[in-house]
Structure 1
Amino acid sequence: MAAGQTIRLRLTIQDPVPGGAYSLQNKKSEAVGQVIAAGGPLSFDVPVRITPGPKFLGEFVHSEGPVRRFVYIAIGGQAGLAASPWSRRAKIDIHALPTDLLEQALAGKILEARLPGRDKDGGPACATVRPLGAWRVVE
């Protein structure tokens, strides 16, 4: 694996709250690419640089400790919609992506995680959000 190769991860929220604002959140805690949910799934494509290890780097890759790497999806107020009743973030872990999937991503494939859109309270899913199934390769 060469230093600094870029792959693309797709984070798809299966059932977002209609009318809710969603965006990626960069390292400066800024909302990037705000989208208002209409009624179907929402997807965000995230560029991620990979270096040997593997280590995950990039504008949207956040860290916690020496190993944990994740991407935030900002929701409501955090996504820039001041009038929203929510101000949340969903944390999606990426540090444990399987090697076979990473190899396919390095060959140009997109890796997708399908995420739940709703929390137990009916509002947007937040905190650490686990994919609905395994990460998968999409064309």
Structure 2
Amino acid sequence: MARTDRIEIPFRIIIRQPVPNVLHSLQARNGGPLDPKSSPDGAPLRFDFPVRIGPGPKFHGDQVRPEGPVRRFVYIRVGDLAGDAASPWSRRMKIDIHDIDEAMIEHAARSGGVIETIIIGTASDGTPACATITPAERRVAER
């Protein structure tokens, strides 16, 4: 597929209820941390990044990771993996994006909005969430 067949849509991941003072970051293209941040009081964290979407839909971009022919996701690195060598945690959150409805993609493209995925950052045991995270909410929001 030609690159001209793709549109770029802004994506946003909001982590509600992150464990206070634990560093989180996007995973950069080279595998390292990108845009690390933490919340001293558990306030939400926000990560913005572009995603190129082609027919299918097929997802591409520096933060988009492939798994098999269809699955695409974004990693949020936590603790040591986010750049805090003193952290007791070395985890990643895997947030699927391949399952985003085409109608939502079209709405974001038409409105100039951002596809926002909201996740909960604290697991039931009080530690940072990790592994595949089911979104609490996904919507098209204003930029």
> Match of 1:71?
74
Structure 2 residue matching 1:101: 3-state secondary structure: helix
TM-score by length of 1: 0.94
Shift of 1:119: 1.1
Q: Which ranges of structure 2 fall in alignment gaps of 5 or more residues?
A: none
Instruction: Please list the CA deviations of residues 79-118 of structure 1 after superposition, one character each: whole Å capped at 9, or x if unmatched.
Output: 0110001010000000010111100222211111110111
TM-score by length of 2: 0.91
Instruction: Please list the CA deviations of residues 29-72 of structure 1 after superposition, one character each: whole Å capped at 9, or x if unmatched.
Output: 11000002222101101210011111100000001000000000
Partner amino acid, structure 1, of 2:67: E
> Mapping of 1:1-139 within 5 angstroms?
3-39=5-41, 40-107=43-110, 108-133=112-137, 135-139=138-142
* Aligned counterparts of 1:44 and 1:104: Cα–Cα separation in 2: 21
* Aligned counterparts of 1:102 and 1:8: Cα–Cα separation in 2: 10
Write out the 4+ residue segments of structure 1 that deviate beyond 3 Å after TM superposition.
none
How many pairs were matched up? 137
When the two chains are superposed, the root-mean-square deviation of aligned CA atoms in Å is 1.1
